[in-house]
Amino acid sequence: MRDQLQLQINNASESMNSGFSDYYQNMVDYFHQNPDKNLSYSAFSNRTERATKALTSEQEAIFYIVAYGWQHHQSMQHLLSETLDFTSNAQENIRVVDYGCGQGVATLAFMDHLAKKGVAQQSSLEIHLIEPSRVSLDIAKLLIERLAIAHGIKVSIHCQQRTLGSALLPLNSECVETFHLLSNVIDIEAVQIALPNIAKQIKSCTGKNFLLATCPKYANAQIGFRILHQEIDFADNFYDECWDMTYQMYRVIQATWNQHTSTQRMAMMPWTSS
């Protein structure tokens, strides 16, 4: 069974020609056609505490992408297009740090955004993935490598299989811009506890910095955003808004596609450090 699921992930990754949407579509088709091989919503949700715990199998990874992948991708893309202008002054050497990256959806959204703006082929990304789950981290690396080929982006990928509490940020290379991505993680208590230490490290990251955080607007996320505002007090300004986002996505409980609306809180904090 495990080999079969790995093969499915591999095949779906190879279907990515225009972007992450190809991977998502391929995974939804597989999920829909193979109900006997899937986890139920309650089994997934109970074991992973609603996707906040590190995933432990390919079966969980597939469920996660089908249930949450599109929503997370669309939120990060929305935040990027609302707050940043990639066409003017596009930088070549960009560092991306994806905190609690899971299967790399936020980084994939970032890469799709570069392609949409027509600057993919002039971009060189130094990507740092921090994530406790080995299964998720391996898939993230695979997907980023495949999407980089599809979009013609040069990438170097550096993985840390660990929690944010023990993450060491490698911020000493030549990049002039760094994007810090926190996609659907600041509602997690252990991440919130680690934020002061992360903030201390990223404060000294030289060049231009942009921190982008997204999460559905619920109580635990609000706590995370409050801590973020306290700890990133060195940012030049704060963009922080809630958006009712509506998208066509596959609903795992109903086993059908329909329109889904969720309220997402999104923050973007820029600063420059010399």
Ligand X SMILES: C[S@@+](CC[C@H](N)C(=O)[O-])C[C@H]1O[C@@H](n2cnc3c(N)ncnc32)[C@H](O)[C@@H]1O
Q: Give me the residues that bind ligand X (CB under 6 A), please.
A: 51-52, 54, 72, 100-102, 105-106, 131-133, 136, 163-165, 183-185, 188, 190-191
Please, how many CA atoms are within 13 Å of residue 204, restricted to the half-sphere of its CB?
10
Distance CA 69, CA 54 (A): 15
Closest CB to ligand X among residues 54, 119: 54
Would you say 90 or 190 has its CB closer to ligand X? Answer: 190
Q: How far is the CB of 236 from ligand X (least distance, A)?
A: 25
Minimum distance from CB of 52 to ligand X (Å)?
Answer: 6
Distance of alpha carbon 141 from alpha carbon 242, whole angstroms: 30
Tell me how far apart the terminal alpha carbons of the chain are, to the nearest angstrom: 52
**Closer by beta carbon to ligand X, 25 or else 163:** 163
Chain position whose Cβ is nearest to ligand X: 102
Residue 209 CB, shortest distance to ligand X, in Å, is 19
User: Which CB atom, from 122 or from 218, has the smaller least distance to ligand X?
Assistant: 218
Residue 177 phi/psi, 5-degree rounding, is -135, 140
Provide, rounded to whole angstroms, the least separation between the CB of residue 174 and ligand X: 26
Shortest gap between Cβ of 177 and ligand X (angstroms)?
20
Nearer to ligand X by Cβ, of 121 and 134: the residue is: 134
Q: Which is nearer to ligand X, 48 or 123 (CB)?
A: 48
Order of strands across the sheet with 239-251?
A: 154-160, 124-130, 93-99, 177-183, 207-216, 256-273, 239-251
Residue type, 44: F
Residue 274 CB, shortest distance to ligand X, in Å, is 29
Phi/psi of residue 219, nearest 5 degrees? -50, -50
In terms of Cα–Cα distance, which of 262, 251, 84, 38 is closest to 178?
84
Q: Which residues contact 108 (CB under 8 A, 6 or more apart)?
A: 19, 20, 23, 73, 143, 144, 147
209, with CB counted inside 10 A (0-12, 13-18, 19+), is buried
The least distance separating ligand X from the CB of residue 87, rounded to whole angstroms, comes to: 25
Our CB check for ligand X shows the closer of 101 and 205 to be 101
**CA 99/CA 121 separation, integer angstroms:** 25
